[in-house]
């Protein structure tokens, strides 16, 4: 089959790589893709001004479309493809609000009694002050929409949180989400669902802060490991019973069409797991760790899901017992500044890891890549244990020639 992958980042590169190992795949078209995936995909920028034009170009040519970026959910691309009869992995626009609107997600969790932090939604400065007067434990401030990892402030005290809320209101507009700060360990639990059935796509731990030991500003993610070392069978059963099944059931009860990946960001607290937020797709860089471990026929599994015939009993998702570690190499100054012009050389010297490229292009005057985003590449290794994978990953990073970049040295430690 011919598969269209929509997006241009390291997550989409990982999806293309995993799909290319499926025997049923004839061709993968990445739109717009990036030069880093050119060896395993026809990276083609399908020029389209609107969804109608994209549908015309895909009709009778594409057996399955896989959405990586949430942009295509917000823009109604998933809906347009589905209405045209093109099987697609990705939620409809209204269901995708579980990621694209944190206010919607909070109301959804309240309605379906899904464990989550104490939350208040506010729309102006007066409501911000009233909320802090009622609850002086507010420490987390979030903007409502998608913000590439920069729309969240986790604060140390009440005054800092209040100032952050007022500042974010002026910058991002209403509504804002105010929350208590949960204490515990973060992890992600990912599933694939057709709206009725679902299968597990393993767990992972994402490292959001820019600095070692979870210090510094919040980013889109500086690395990940899979499976999460903090999850045991009993805790996984509790996550499934209290969170995963109620989310899938809630989508169905609310008549929200959801066929695709859902990544649930959790805080494992002393009072049990609670949902921090949702990704209406696999997250980045969690995808890189999760799919590098995957050994099943991803294309057939996704096609079944897109047709609404995912069988939770018969669909064996093959992960085995191996672990993966993924380290993000980012631009110097990220996330505050993306002015530095990074250099990444000696990629051919990488021996035991996969390198997944973020949004980039070939330089005009050399074989180097010119990067368009703050995060540049994800170096991902697999091993019998997390320690094995971590050693391979950092050994390969040491083989690279790097200038004007930053990366964390404690991923998986």
Euclidean distance between the first and the last CA atom of the chain, given in angstroms as a whole number: 40
Q: What CATH topology corresponds to 185-306?
A: D-amino Acid Aminotransferase; Chain A, domain 1 (3.30.470)
Q: Alpha-carbon distance 131 to 69, whole Å?
A: 34
Mean pLDDT of the chain: 93
- Was domain 2-90 assigned CATH 3.40.50.20? yes
Same fold, 118-180 and 323-406: no
C-alpha neighbours within 13 Å on the C-beta side of residue 194: 16
Does residue 213 come out as left (phi exceeding 0), alpha (psi in the -120 to 50 range) or beta?
left
Q: What's the pLDDT score for residue 314?
A: 45
Does residue 62 come out as left (phi exceeding 0), alpha (psi in the -120 to 50 range) or beta?
beta
Query: What mean pLDDT comes out for the span 107-118?
Result: 97
Torsion of Cα atoms, 197 then 279 then 89 then 198, to 10° = -10
The tens digit of pLDDT for each residue in 113-172 reads: 999 999 999 999 999 999 999 999 999 999 998 765 568 888 999 999 999 999 999 998
Q: What are the residues whose beta carbons fall under 8 Å from the beta carbon of 90, sequence distance 6 or more?
A: 65, 66, 67, 72, 73, 78, 96, 259, 260, 280, 281
Give 27's strand partners. Answer: 2
The tens digit of pLDDT for each residue in 284-323 reads: 999 999 999 998 899 999 999 999 998 755 445 678 889 9
Q: What's the pLDDT score for residue 191?
A: 96
Q: Which residue has the higher pLDDT, 319 or 224?
A: 224
- Was domain 118-180 assigned CATH 3.30.1490.20? yes
Rg (CA), the chain: 21
Count of other CB atoms within 10 angstroms of residue 29: 20
Q: What are the residues whose beta carbons fall under 8 Å from the beta carbon of 133, sequence distance 6 or more?
A: none
Which helix (H) or strand (E) segment holds residue 154: the answer is: strand 152-154
Domain ranges across the chain = 2-90, 118-180, 185-306, 323-406
Which CATH code is given to the segment(s) 323-406?
3.90.600.10
**The dihedral sign for the CA sequence 387, 393, 397, 400:** positive
Residue 264 has pLDDT above 70, yes or no: yes
Query: What mean pLDDT comes out for the span 198-217?
Result: 94
Query: What mean pLDDT comes out for the span 328-348?
Result: 95
Query: What mean pLDDT comes out for the span 52-78?
Result: 91
Contact 43, 33 (CB under 8 A): yes
Residue 101 has pLDDT above 90, yes or no: yes
The tens digit of pLDDT for each residue in 176-192 reads: 999 999 999 999 999 99
Q: What's the pLDDT score for residue 365?
A: 77
Residue 353 has pLDDT above 50, yes or no: yes
Q: Is 253 exposed, middle or buried (0-12, 13-18, 19+ CB in 10 A)?
A: exposed
Helix (H, G, I), strand (E, B), or coil: what is residue 343? strand
Q: Alpha-carbon distance 257 to 118, whole Å?
A: 27
């Amino acid at each position: 089959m011919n598969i269209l992958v929509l997006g241009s980042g390291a997550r989409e590169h990982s999806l293309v790589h995993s799909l290319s190992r499926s025997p049923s795949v004839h061709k993968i078209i990445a739109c717009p893709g990036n030069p880093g995936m050119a060896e395993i995909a026809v990276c083609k920028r399908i020029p389209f001004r609107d969804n109608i034009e994209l549908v015309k170009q895909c009709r009778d040519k594409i057996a399955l479309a896989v959405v990586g970026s949430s942009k295509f959910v917000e823009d109604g691309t998933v809906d347009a493809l589905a209405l045209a009869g093109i099987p697609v992995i990705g939620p409809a626009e209204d269901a995708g609000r579980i990621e694209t609107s944190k206010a919607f997600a909070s109301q959804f969790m309240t309605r379906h009694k899904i464990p989550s932090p104490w939350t208040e939604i506010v729309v102006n400065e007066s409501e911000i002050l009233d909320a802090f007067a009622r609850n002086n434990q507010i420490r987390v401030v979030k903007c409502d929409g998608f913000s590439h990892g920069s729309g969240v402030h986790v604060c140390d005290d009440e005054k800092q949180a209040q100032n952050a809320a007022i500042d974010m209101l002026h910058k991002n507009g209403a509504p804002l989400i105010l929350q208590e700060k949960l204490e515990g360990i973060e992890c992600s639990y990912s599933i694939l669902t057709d709206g009725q059935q679902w299968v597990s796509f393993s767990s992972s731990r994402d490292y959001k802060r820019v600095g070692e030991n979870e210090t510094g500003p919040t980013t889109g993610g500086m690395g990940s490991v899979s499976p999460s070392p903090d999850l045991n069978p009993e805790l996984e059963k509790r996550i499934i019973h209290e969170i995963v099944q109620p989310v899938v059931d809630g989508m169905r009860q609310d008549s929200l069409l959801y066929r695709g990946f859902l990544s649930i960001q959790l805080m494992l607290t002393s009072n049990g797991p609670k949902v921090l937020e949702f990704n209406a797709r696999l997250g980045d860089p969690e995808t890189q760790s999760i799919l590098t471990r995957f050994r099943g026929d991803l294309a057939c599994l996704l096609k079944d899901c897109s047709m609404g015939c995912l069988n939770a009993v018969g669909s064996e998702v093959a992960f085995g017992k191996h672990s993966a570690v993924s380290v993000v190499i980012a631009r110097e100054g990220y996330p505050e500044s993306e002015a530095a012009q990074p250099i990444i050389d000696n990629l051919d010297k990488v021996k035991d890891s996969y390198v997944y490229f973020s949004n980039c292009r070939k330089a005009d005057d050399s074989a180097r890549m010119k990067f368009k985003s703050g995060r540049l590449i994800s170096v991902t290794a697999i091993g019998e244990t997390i320690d094995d994978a971590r050693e391979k990953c950092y050994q390969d990073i040491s083989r690279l020639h790097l200038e004007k970049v930053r990366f964390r040295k404690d991923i998986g430690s």
